[in-house]
Structure 1
Amino acid sequence: MPPGRRWALLWDPAELGPKRVPSPAQLAALDRALAARRRCPICRLDAGYCIPRSIGSCLECASPCTATPTAA
């Protein structure tokens, strides 16, 4: 037996039915859930990306820049 992964189909693709189409209410609920994952709980702004659970806030709130650049 050669090393590596082996795959086997569990059902016949010819017997499968069509994929279910989500309802408009399901799509709206998904949009609301994804928008909530983008909103920072500290500054309440849309970060534009899904906020990681490990950080808990947007990158600007997680590590604010305290040094201000000065002109030389």
Structure 2
Amino acid sequence: MADSEYIKIYTGGTIIIQVIKQRLEDAGINPVIKDETESGRLAGFGSSLTGQPEIYVHESELETASGIVETVISEMETN
């Protein structure tokens, strides 16, 4: 996503990605999830790729999205 108006705000495990994604959507932000492992699996390449999913948001939503990510991470650490 180089040279785009989208900025990566988080890279991590699938479960926390899904929690962050839901919170962003609840706030009216439409994140883009990039998951090369899942894409490879769906294309028939098996699970040889070991990357982690990433969340991108539009640069105009960065401040709000960053606060949501920080909140989710904080909640996960306390549980």
Does the TM-score normalized on the shorter chain lie above 0.5? no
Larger % of strand: which?
2
TM-score normalised by structure 2 residue count: 0.23
Instruction: Return the structure number with greater relative CO, CA threshold 8 A, min gap 6.
Output: 2
Compute the TM-score of the two structures, normalised by the length of structure 1: 0.25
Structure with greater helix share of residues = 2
